Amino acid sequence: MNHPAEVQYLYSLGNEVKSIKLGLDRMWRMLAALDHPERACRFVHVAGTNGKGSTCAMIESALRAKGRTTGLYTSPHFVDPTERIQVNGKAITEAQFSDVFEEMHHVAEALLKRGELDMHPTYFESLTLMAFLVFRQARVHTVVLETGLGGRLDATNVVTPILSVITAIDYDHMQWLGDTIELIAGEKAGIIKPGVPVVVARQRPEAIIPIERKALESQSLLHEVDQWEMHVDTLDAYGGTYSLSQGITVLEVHCPLPGEHQLHNSATAALALYHLGLTPQEIFDGIAQAQWPGRLERIHQQPDILLDGAHNVAGATALAAYLRHFHQGRKVWMIFGVMADKQVEEIAEILFPLATHLILTAPNQARALPPDQIAKLPAAQHAQVVPQLADALAMIRQAAPADVVFLTGSLYLVGEARPLLQKMGLLS
């Protein structure tokens, strides 16, 4: 197959949420047949609800700055699945993708013929297996591995990491993970392995209980960000500097990612790096170089245009706090499109009242919620419905230099917007 055909085949396996098959038996069978590529590297395994991706990006950035060959596995992607698998800060090529797809797919077909698999690996399982193959081939030293949906039964939970990291936990994917924070946290804590230390972000009180319980059962040292004192020196719309201190140990951090919530994500990354053995200077330098596209990413000035794939309630809450804190008094243009399986009404209630001009559209995805349905929500009474994203983006030409524009609601929307904005001369 060529690359488009391979991607289409993976998509045909079903959306990674709707086609999810929680459980690890299929992964273990595939890994054994592939000669266990997951054993070839060291892993930092990261679970949580919010901040996983940016925390992974900051950890990887610092490890790479230290001179290590790094791997990074995250989801979802913006435009192409190759983006999910990175080596030394760069997405793999289509040729690399094809090589590992063919290897994975050939083994899956052989196992299916012998009756040793119940079905082809799912979309997310397939990509995870392919990532392990890439990292083995590239002789990666340390991989920063982000879970997909959960933790305990997530396809990534076949590794024995050198460090586990749990970011902030909130409500998401409740049909699989449970309808309380404690149940969801229990599933996320499933990445904790016997004797492997764990770094935990600031949590709701009900989330920390099952994490502490799992760490105790596993005899794993638990390192909580809340055990460190944070002193913020500077914080503006595009980053901040602060110190973390515990006793005589002080870590200075410059976080280049916007939003107060990113200070807390970077604190989790800093503590993870500290327990991976990096020096305070290496931590400072490495996090300062981190990039994480599509999360409060400022791509243009006059007007300011920011891309932020806030696709759940916690993400919308963080975006709303950022908007109120740093853009109070400005006219806000908001282009919004979302997937149908998200908590749209709650997200709308958080974000839509902050928009002076609200434009509802949709990414070109089968799961996208039609914008005319979003417009029926009480919070969307002042909205304009513009079904095509290109037409919605054309409307921001009307924004004044002092205005601020946000594209939000879905990472897929952000990904589809990037080439369109580039053609408009609004993205370098």
Q: Which residue among 288, 310, 336 closes a domain?
A: 288
Q: Which residue among 288, 309, 332 closes a domain?
A: 288
pLDDT (0 to 100) of residue 21: 61
Same domain flag for 230 and 262: yes
Residues 399, 301: contact at Cβ < 8 Å? no
* Number of domains within the chain: 2
Same domain flag for 303 and 411: yes
CATH code of the domain in which 318 resides:
3.90.190.20
Total-model pTM: 0.90
Low-confidence stretches of the chain (pLDDT < 50) are 19
In a domain, 428, yes or no: no
pLDDT (0 to 100) of residue 427: 82
Is the bond into 303 cis (omega within 30 degrees of 0)? Answer: yes
Domain limits for position 11: 3-288
304-308 vs 239-246, strand pairing mode: unpaired
Q: Which residue among 238, 266, 288 closes a domain?
A: 288
Cα dihedral: 290, 295, 296, 301 (round 10): 80
85-87 vs 90-91, strand pairing mode: antiparallel
Asked whether the CA dihedral 117, 29, 109, 75 is positive or negative, the reply is positive
Same domain flag for 389 and 333: yes
Same domain flag for 133 and 280: yes
Same domain flag for 302 and 189: no
Q: What are phi and psi of 388, to 5 degrees?
A: -95, 130
pLDDT (0 to 100) of residue 361: 97
Same domain flag for 276 and 301: no
Q: Which residue has the tokens 């996983």?
A: 52
CATH code of the domain in which 198 resides:
3.40.1190.10
